[in-house]
A and B are shown apart, each in its own frame.
Chain A
Amino acid sequence: MDILFEFLRSTGFALMADAPEHLLMIIIGLVFITLGIVKHYEPLLLVPIGMGVVVGNIPVMSNMSLTVYDSARVVLENGEIVIKPGSVLSYLYFGVAQGIFPPLIFLGIGAMTDFSTMLSNPRLVLLGAAAQIGVFLTFLGALWMGFADTEAGSIGIIGGADGPTAIFLSTQLAPHLLGAIAIAAYSYMALVPVIQPPIMKLLTTREERLIRMAPPRNVSKRERIIFPVAAFLICAMIAPASLVLIGMLFFGNLMKECGVTERLANTARHALIDIVTILLGFCVGASTKADTFLKADSLLIFALGAVSFAIATAGGVLFAKFMNLFLKDKINPLIGAAGVSAVPDSARVVQMVGQAEDPNNHLLMHAMAPNVAGVIGSAVAAGVLWSVLAK
């Protein structure tokens, strides 16, 4: 009978009574899963993250090694040094905590990205830079709100709309905010089709939205092979801290374009990126703990993330309009919104908004150029913030 009572005390029900906030987190997890399945908002991310949140927030006895935070440790027992192994989840979480998974995701993104529209119209690269204004203005906003500089840097990068980069930077600068930042970054990536269109319509006239752009020229194989190597050298020489992310991105792209490593590129863009996405999403979800997550700071991070994303969109659109003042072949300013690096979602949104005005205007291809430039831009921005703020 005693054993039964002891067991009952260790169940989730009994522990939940002491810490009801866990229940709220589990509901948040279930909302994520539902949004992914019913609304199809980035299901590949929200379903793993949602399930992770549910798994990570079941209350457990503190002496049982179960959560992502129960990592291996060295203890002194009876005068002897003993190594206590960590929980299973802590070993999976290692890839998140040490920033290993994000570069692997970048490898896969590189191996699936076709840079040829960017190569055929190099000036569109600048739109990817302009959208990074969201990162730096949010950095200032976060400082104003009283976050420490390292925290502010990690929060700002949410405006890059680039989940892996945001996770990478916050593991380096502000590990304690990782859960909130990762969830915010991925939520806004899922909300691209909701957040961007109103801003794009607000900042452009109907005539501008109707602008048609010349079809991209054919890009030679040599150009496509030389590009990843040269672009890596340029970025890594300017901002060496970005070399892990940028290096993996362009390595993946080189494997895709060189024509002799198709097998490797195939693994990187299918099997590898899928495995890492599963582990990353699940572990990030499982790392959200009610006591660290349900705080005013997390709400501020979500608010800043939304503002950051809106500013980034506006920055890209306005810069495209600015460029049009000097250009003979006008750019459709809608594609500036694709300067945020949510690939390829924001390019799809551009296509959608463009076609709402003119069903025969195909902007998708053109929008992919600032979109992939945005990935490079936010990785460089992350590198700069890391090297300036790392202590």
Chain B
Amino acid sequence: MSVLANSAETISRFNLQNIIDARGYAIAITGMSIVFVALSLISLFLALLPRMLRVLSKVFPEPASQPAAPPLARVRAGDDEIVAAIGAALHRHHGGP
């Protein structure tokens, strides 16, 4: 089969010189540095963003927004029993009529 036929030939081309010929080390180091610079800048920006927004909100106050309800707090269909149980418990606790 072709896999076996050319595997010996494939292994024979393993050579560290290939990396040097293709400027591999330089590309890898440069590439890794660029990725780090890009993500460090994002990280830095995110760290400063709350401060910038604090200044901004003095000039343009953020419209009073009601905090979004966390998804778990939302009543899902099928949770009727739980709601009923909570209702009953509250009723008992408050000693309603």
Residues of A within 8 A of B (CB): 21, 118-119, 122-123, 125-126, 128-129, 132-133, 135-137, 139-140, 143-146, 148-149, 152, 218, 220-223, 226-227, 230-231, 234-235, 238-239, 291, 294-297, 299-300, 373, 376-377, 380-381, 384-385, 388-389
Contact = CB atoms under 8 A, between A and B. Distances in A.
Contact of B36 (A21, A129, A227, A295): A129
A122 B43 contact: yes
Contact of A222 (B1, B10, B22, B62): B62
Nearest to B57: A222
A234 B41 contact: yes
Given A149-B24, A295-B6, A144 B31 contact: no
Contact of A145 (B6, B14, B36, B50): B14
7 contacts: A132-B32, A218-B67, A222-B53, A297-B10, A299-B7, A381-B31, A388-B27
Given A125-B46, A140-B25, A388-B27, A294 B19 contact: no
B75 interface: no
Contacts, number: 144
B38 interface: yes
Contact of A380 (B2, B10, B38, B65): B38
Interface of B: 1-3, 6-7, 9-10, 13-16, 18-19, 22, 24-25, 27-32, 34-47, 49-50, 53, 56-57, 62, 65, 67
Interface centre among B32, B39, B56 (most CB of A within 10 A): B39
A133 B32 contact: yes
B38 A221 contact: no
A115 to B, nearest CB: 9
Contacts of B36: 126, 129
A351 to B, nearest CB: 17
A125 B22 contact: no
B2 A294 contact: yes
A377 B50 contact: no
Interface of A is mostly: helix
A119 B28 CA distance: 29
Contacts of A137: 28
B42 A125 contact: yes
A381 B38 CA distance: 10
Contact of B43 (A126, A291, A294, A297): A126
Of residues B15, B42, B62, which shows the largest number of chain A Cβ atoms within 10 Å of its Cβ?
A: B42
A67 to B, nearest CB: 19
B3 A299 contact: yes
Contact of B18 (A144, A221, A299, A381): A144
A122 B44 contact: yes
A93 B30 CA distance: 34
B7 A125 contact: no
A146 B50 contact: no
A162 to B, nearest CB: 13
B35 to A, nearest CB: 5
